[in-house]
Structure 1
Amino acid sequence: MSTAMNASEATPADRTTWLNQLRSGHLSRPYDCYNMDLNRADLQGADLSHTRFARASLPQAILANANLSGADLRGADLRGAVLQQVNLQGACLYRADLSGADLTGANLENAQFDLARYDRHTRFPDGFAYPSSGAIGPRANLNGAPLNTANLRNADLQDVRLIGAYLTGADLTGANLQGARLTNADLRKAFLTGASLRHAGLNGANLEQADLRATDLTGVEFDHLEAMAGADFSLSQGLTEMQRTYLLNQGDRPLDTWNAFTRQTTRMSLA
């Protein structure tokens, strides 16, 4: 049976046989599991070093004690995966989703976590400095990060540091940005619909054409903004009268700029 079998189309018997062969090392290397559906797969203890798991679906997979050194896990879905004591030395987890994954005791030496996703339920090894690993999640330090057009819908970004970050066109719909530091961030055309920005810092941010409909802006900090032309604040909550007055005093040009996506001007959205 080929190592490139499409596990999503396999019968249960074929899938079981293939996984057994993969675990036992009876398939020819290098293993190619690109874009495979391996939901809940039991691969604990398997030697999967240098395996290609890019864009593979591995939610709740059991990979405890597996050897994933040098593995390509770019864009892999590892939500809720059991990765206890796994060897991820030199693995690439760029844009992988580790929400709810358990990596306790894992070897993460030289592993690349740039733009990987984690949440408050993700468990990392003791002593691993995940906020400064380049991954995206609560308390992450992403100052100056290039996140243009990033899909961060419903992401848990509480207390994240995004000072000077580039978020043009990023999808932050429904994201938890409570306490986030967004000073001087570029949020042009960002989608923040329904996001929570409670007590976030937005001083110097660029909100041109941003979609802020139904956002929670309670306690948000902005004494000044770089720009706000075309920003839509419809149904947003929590703006103080002082903040609303500041926005309405920005002049006719920014206030009467049309937002082509929401089909409103900033002035209309603040009415």
Structure 2
Amino acid sequence: MHHEQTGSEIDRHTQSSQQIFEALAAGQSGAGADLYQVNLRGRALNQVDLRQATLIRADFSQADLTATNLAGADLRGASLQGAILKDANLTGACLSRVDLSGADLSGANLTDVKMQGVRYDRYTIFPADFNYKSSGAIGPGARLNGANLNTANLRYVDLQGANLLGAYLGGADLTQANLQAARLSQGDLRRAFLTGACLRTAGLNGANLAGADLRAADLTDVEFDRLESIAGADFSHVRGLTDEMRSRLLSYPAQELETYNSFTRRTTGESLGLER
């Protein structure tokens, strides 16, 4: 008796990425398959069936997934950078921490998709009717007021113009992030890594910068008339810091200025040019 091949016959533990690609390209279903960390970068996989598949940390960057069925798939931590997902079915898929930078999702079905922690950039194309800015995704113009992003890996992320009022970014890695014109008032940035970050015209009033690493950050025209704390913050080599801004920072209590940054082992006062 002939038995139809099922997705369970495709398995990352017993097959190479090349074998998996060949099976899918030949029309075999990948529904329900365990494809943990599979590398299908740059592959053409139009209209394949990957419903309910485990695709955690899979690499689909630059892949052509046009009209692919990814309904209910677990894509946590996967890379979809530059992927073509036109008309793909992503209903109920988990995209937590997925990188969608440069991806084309025009016409895709994103009903009930979980977007928390998803990264996008100005080149990402979303379906015309999808409110991506309020979806929990992270990118330019995102509405992330009060979001819990403690210890998140946000290196090089583009958050230009994003709303992050009261957001929790304690310990987050924002190295060289683009935070130009971002609204960070009342935000928790304790021990955040902002090395080389662009904070031009960003709003930081009421933010907590205790222990933050701001070395070489661009603070041109930043708004921080009132900061909750700068104890242990390192401002070494920051750009755009006017004499008036520096004087204002140096007016904070001596206890804060004498606090060491736990990472750079430099006091806040020293980082602002205050001689011991």
> What interval of TM-score do these two structures reach, taking the shorter chain for normalisation?
over 0.9
**Alignment gaps of 5+ in structure 1:** none
1:204 aligns with 2:211: no
Instruction: Tell me the TM-score normalized by structure 1.
Output: 0.94
Q: Which residue of 2 aligns with 1:223?
A: 225
**How far, CA to CA, are the matches of 1:4 and 1:177 in structure 2?**
41
1:74-89 counterparts in 2 under 5 A? 74-89=76-91
Q: Which residue of 1 aligns with 2:267?
A: 265
1:185 to 178, 184, 187: 187
**How far, CA to CA, are the matches of 2:240 and 2:20 in structure 1?**
55
SS at match of 1:18: helix
CA RMSD across the alignment = 1.7
Q: Which residue of 2 aligns with 1:56?
A: 58
1:3 aligns with 2:5: no
1:118 aligns with 2:125: no
The alpha-carbon deviation at position 263 of structure 1 amounts to 1.4
Cα deviation, 1:166-190, whole Å, max 9, x if unaligned, reads 0010000000000000000000000
Q: Answer yes or no: is the 8 Å Cα contact 1:173–1:195 preserved in 2.
A: yes
Q: Answer yes or no: is the 8 Å Cα contact 1:24–1:46 preserved in 2.
A: no
Instruction: Tell me the TM-score normalized by structure 2.
Output: 0.92
**How far, CA to CA, are the matches of 2:216 and 2:79 in structure 1?**
29
Distance 1:39 1:164, change over 3 A: same
The alpha-carbon deviation at position 218 of structure 1 amounts to 0.2
Identity of aligned residues (%): 55
SS at match of 1:259: coil
The alpha-carbon deviation at position 127 of structure 1 amounts to 2.1
**Number of residue pairs matched by the alignment:** 266
**Alignment gaps of 5+ in structure 2:** 1-7
**How far, CA to CA, are the matches of 2:134 and 2:30 in structure 1?**
37
Q: Which residue of 1 aligns with 2:249?
A: 247
Distance 1:226 1:163, change over 3 A: same
The alpha-carbon deviation at position 240 of structure 1 amounts to 2.3
1:155-174 counterparts in 2 under 5 A? 155-174=157-176
Q: Which residue of 1 aligns with 2:130?
A: 128
The alpha-carbon deviation at position 260 of structure 1 amounts to 2.1
Distance 1:28 1:195, change over 3 A: closer
1:47 to 36, 46, 49: 49
Q: Which residue of 1 aligns with 2:5?
A: none
The alpha-carbon deviation at position 32 of structure 1 amounts to 1.1
**How far, CA to CA, are the matches of 2:250 and 2:148 in structure 1?**
31
